[in-house]
Amino acid sequence: MTMSKIPDEKLKNYQKVFENASNFYDAPPVIRDFWMRMAKEKVPHLFSQNLSWYGFHHAPFSTDTENADIVIYGIGYDHNSSQEMGDTRHAPMYLRFASKYVPPVHGEWEMAPFEMCNIIDRGDIDKFSMDYNQSLDWDIKHAMKWSKHGALPLRIGGDHEILGGTMVTANMLADKFFPEQAMGVILFDGHTDCFLPNDVGGYIDTEWVNGGGIPRAIYKGWVDPEKVFQFGMRGFGIDSPSGQYAAEQLGITIVRPLDLEEKGYHYFVDMIRERIGTSPALITVDLDCLDPSEGGGTTQRDGFGLTFREVRAISRAMKGLNLIAADVCEYAPSHDSHGRSTAFNIAALLFEYLCMLVDTKVRLNNGKFNQTHWDLNLATSASFPGEIFLDRWNKDNVAV
């Protein structure tokens, strides 16, 4: 046996960890309790390929929105992409698949969202009509119905049509939980999306046309423009007609990729946290904010955009604040390259949004945890992570 080159005292401590510690049982309590409960209920979330019966991020499919804390769902519209249409209508299906590769715990934030909130995947809102306005009304109708009892929405879209439903639902939730407080918005987009009625023929027949959701919400008094931040605009020709001048006149903060590069994301994170403060807010992500080098899985690919790391770093400004709704759109699976790299980055970003919504909802629930349960369990696994500790876990819970 080779003699140790490490001092005996240190070596004994290392050996003690090796022999007695557990990555499952010695995890932060909420994560440990989640793994133990899953072992007891025989629901696999790790080392399993039998994932087809899970929804987004392993959430159970359910229609019980009345008792849900967080509702995740897709809206596969592809009405209004200004470059290649791609197949954004299939985005929810592909992203649901990619999301299942993300283990449902956040080690850095010491969060197990399914232990803290009742999270469901409600499925997708179908695009039942070729009529633009009917489809948008259909989305808003379901979005409000599914959140009327207080569930916070995480919406995965085809195109940015979905912001209307997100905005209307967020305002309903703001009225419920934060009366008298105007909302803030963080927008990631290649364009300012501040179309005005005069720009698009009176907004067709609907208030919530793609690209006009934020100024319409400001017009209604729902959103405070001083609490609106727009990241990713390139300043090319398309940005001017899409709302640059209106955004500037409204007092919205526009942050182009070069601004971010020169000042650093911390500068803007601090600004977001200071201005939004305790106000309710939503995050909306049009993926054409990204540089094409980030996988190319979008319908509008303009150069010199943001990276996923920048989007993530800025989004984290809302951690601990009152994020009440989030959406992500404009993923085009047929354009994705490099082993669906765009999809897996989006899935990781969506999981962070899910955790931030859970953080808000736990506060709204006065610190109470509402566990997620999988009524449909098709698991056939031979073993479950952490099950050897179940006796110890049960005894510890009885002792408490």
Lowest mean pLDDT among 58-67, 179-188, 298-307: 298-307
Domains of the chain, residue spans: 30-364
Does residue 124 register a pLDDT over 60? yes
Cβ–Cβ < 8 Å for 268, 314: yes
Beta bridge partners of 73: 123, 155
Place of tokens 């392993």: 58
H or E stretch at 276: helix 265-276
Predicted confidence (pLDDT) per residue in 149-180, tens digit: 999 999 998 888 899 999 999 999 999 999 99
pLDDT given at position 234: 85
Predicted confidence (pLDDT) per residue in 308-332, tens digit: 999 999 999 999 999 999 999 999 8
Cβ–Cβ < 8 Å for 191, 243: yes
The one-letter code for the residue type at 347 is A
* Cα dihedral 55→360→26→37 (10° resolution): -40
The CATH homologous superfamily for domain 30-364 is Ureohydrolase domain (3.40.800.10)
The Cβ-side half-sphere exposure at 209, using a 13 Å CA radius, reads: 18
pLDDT given at position 83: 60
pLDDT given at position 26: 94
pLDDT given at position 294: 87
Question: d(Cα 152, Cα 68) in Å, to the nearest integer?
Answer: 9
Q: How confident is the model at residue 303 (pLDDT cuts 50, 70, 90)?
A: confident
H or E stretch at 329: strand 322-329
H or E stretch at 19: helix 8-20
Question: d(Cα 374, Cα 38) in Å, to the nearest integer?
Answer: 10
Helix (H, G, I), strand (E, B) or coil at 268: helix
Lowest mean pLDDT among 63-72, 150-159, 205-214, 279-288: 205-214
Question: d(Cα 161, Cα 146) in Å, to the nearest integer?
Answer: 18
The one-letter code for the residue type at 371 is Q
Structure tokens at 74: 């897709």
pTM of the model: 0.95
Predicted confidence (pLDDT) per residue in 251-290, tens digit: 999 999 999 999 999 999 999 999 999 999 999 999 999 9
Does residue 202 register a pLDDT over 60? no
Question: d(Cα 56, Cα 96) in Å, to the nearest integer?
Answer: 5
Question: d(Cα 233, Cα 193) in Å, to the nearest integer?
Answer: 10
pLDDT given at position 49: 66
Mean pLDDT of the chain: 90
Neighbour count for residue 237 (Cβ, 10 Å): 8
Q: What phi, psi does 112 have (nearest 5°)?
A: -125, 90
Does residue 82 register a pLDDT over 90? no
Predicted confidence (pLDDT) per residue in 334-392, tens digit: 888 877 889 999 999 999 999 999 999 999 999 999 999 999 998 888 888 889 999 99
pLDDT given at position 382: 86
CA 25: distance to chain centroid? Answer: 28
Question: d(Cα 173, Cα 181) in Å, to the nearest integer?
Answer: 11
Structure tokens at 356: 């931030």
Cβ–Cβ < 8 Å for 99, 350: yes
136 against 97, higher pLDDT: 97
Give the sign of the dihedral formed by CA 355, CA 232, CA 88, CA 206: positive
Identify which of 78, 80, 74 has the alpha carbon closest to the alpha carbon of residue 210. Answer: 80
Give the sign of the dihedral formed by CA 370, CA 372, CA 373, CA 375: positive
Express as a percent the part of the chain with pLDDT over 90. Answer: 68
Does residue 80 register a pLDDT over 80? no
